[in-house]
Structure 1
């Protein structure tokens, strides 16, 4: 990112913090939706620098973490079959299914490959016409367009041995589900800038109005997040509930029209299960009927999957913002990145992984001079 130092400037961060401290008069609970924002918050100690009246609640914004166990087990079943090359981003390989993960499938002879783009998987299919190549397509609205484009390319090039195992989820229905929960304490949202760079902000004003919550679109650098918090707190203190775009260098109200058109052609909205949360209506995508031939679930007829979550794993509560990672009894003991009980400990965007990586183990917050934003 060009000019990245400008968005990590300690002097500018202190000015924003001073403004927030001067503005807040009562307790407020804000949720950052994106796991990337969670990692930035914990890495830079932003939550410890804020006034004690402000609590940052970590939301279900890690796509790896919310991929349902049933779909993980389907991936494991497909990857284990002879003649299949199973392709995925690296952070999915350690996500535990029922009794095993993709690394273990590979160690037992499965052809599981790490790729850096869905187009890499399509090239593998092109180079191996006698093998079935499956790409595990996960993510929010951010990663859905390249996966959609890859399916489009597969049809255009006549590559019939390629398919997509789809686990795409949508943010606005998740926000709706959080606000409808009886245990919800969230009073404002920091929306994910990369999602809004694709989809725009058109779905958020209705949510803000219906639930009387400010929604501020933010980026991922320390100053981005502090500016998002500052705007959200100002709205809360004034009794307002609007959508604000604090990330204008990347986000437009209409989003990316070309990407949205591609999504509308390739995918259709569907109900989607979220790991640890349950089914959220209209919260996901699946391949549209005219692209069903590229749907790995349909192609491989994966059925009869039964799943069992570890009883001691409380990642569902973490994903709903009901529990901080270090408050889980298994955190850092029976659950570590090397031996994770749940996806929140192993994913690069998981809240548990952030707490473990940056040694956030609870206790008294560090003073300002001990936790510089750098």
Structure 2
């Protein structure tokens, strides 16, 4: 635990806050991309300790939150209509589709199982050769290597009843989509450290140069986040727009080459729909032709209609950083974790859930 406690040290936190207060002279708006970073900022009260000149806004860095409604409906259809065993991470099961969520589909008779790894789903397929087993492959680049390895093993071991329902999304295209939005007010980014652990950060150099915006690869503990904010503010105050790596104890520029090789063997980059945001070109992964037999979307004839978020749900604006969760009129009223209107209220990395559970702003609307 010493390794973690060093990055939660109260004295270091105080020193970094002092540095930030001494450095900032102008208003700046910074977006942290990852939902895990959002939860850490809110849970640890960091937003309340920052100078009033610094506004932190919360990006679309929750893959569960941006999984399209029709993909959830497809998973439910596979469970109820095709009688497949659907395996999913636990944070997906309560995200609303157009009608039911996966937990309600389970109550309606669907064989839906929560797992910790796609390899666990592959083991279920081996143990049930008479059943089709589908793993709901949701995530950013961080979960892609394990998902790739599961189909590499399935092919090697001739497991024919295993497939992936792929809804992978990629971070750099989402950042570019945010920056190119005329309504965007983002002046600096905290990039997601876990994504860069896998992919490295070479893709971010062109973004920093093109949009003249500082990008700091940042971890998740309070010291990480405050150091990342200080590094970003320092660049902004000095008129620089460089790419810097705060998370250097974990992240290397080239990333994890073995993980990248597994991804490139199995996936190709494609356009992807993002819930609440729309289609972002070349922002997702899908299985390539060599592994098409493991693609549930090709294997099964399940094509639900595309459904938009309820018009009263402001999740899309929250995901794009255009509003804070508590600024949504439904927050804490019609929309709660027990009765979520949008995915950010129920996901374990959703910004709305973070504000509901941890933020003093929730007290203002309760």
TM-score grouping bracket, smaller chain normalisation:
over 0.9
Aligned to 1:339: 339
Deviation at 1:359, TM superposition (A): 3.9
What 5-or-longer segments of structure 1 have no aligned partner?
365-374
Deviation at 1:76, TM superposition (A): 1.3
Aligned length: 364
- Are 1:176 and 2:176 matched, yes or no? yes
Aligned to 2:47: 47
Aligned to 1:368: none
CA separation in 1, counterparts of 2:58 and 2:51?
17
TM-score between the two structures when normalised by the length of structure 1: 0.95
> Runs ≥4 in structure 1, deviation > 3 angstroms?
none
Deviation at 1:71, TM superposition (A): 1.1
1:73 and 1:307 in contact (8 A); partners too? no
Q: How does 1:26-65 map to 2 (within 5 A)?
A: 26-65=26-65
Deviation at 1:304, TM superposition (A): 4.4
CA separation in 1, counterparts of 2:135 and 2:3?
35
Change in 2 beyond 3 A, CA 1:153/1:55: same
2:73 and 2:304 in contact (8 A); partners too? no
CA separation in 2, counterparts of 1:196 and 1:312?
35
Residues 99-156 of structure 1: CA deviation (Å, up to 9, x unaligned): 1111111111110000011111000000000000000000001011000000101101
Deviation at 1:82, TM superposition (A): 4.5
Superposition RMSD on alpha carbons, in Å?
1.2
The farther-off stretch of 75-84 and 33-42 is: 75-84
CA separation in 2, counterparts of 1:50 and 1:323?
18
Q: How does 1:1-374 map to 2 (within 5 A)?
A: 2-361=2-361
Report the secondary structure of 1:191's partner residue: strand
Deviation at 1:362, TM superposition (A): 6.0
Residues 290-325 of structure 1: CA deviation (Å, up to 9, x unaligned): 101100011112224242422221100100011111
CA separation in 2, counterparts of 1:139 and 1:178?
19
Residues 248-283 of structure 1: CA deviation (Å, up to 9, x unaligned): 111000000000011111000000010000000110
TM-score between the two structures when normalised by the length of structure 2: 0.98
Report the secondary structure of 1:63's partner residue: coil
CA separation in 2, counterparts of 1:2 and 1:33?
27
Deviation at 1:48, TM superposition (A): 1.1
CA separation in 1, counterparts of 2:359 and 2:48?
13
Residues 52-74 of structure 1: CA deviation (Å, up to 9, x unaligned): 00000100000000011121111
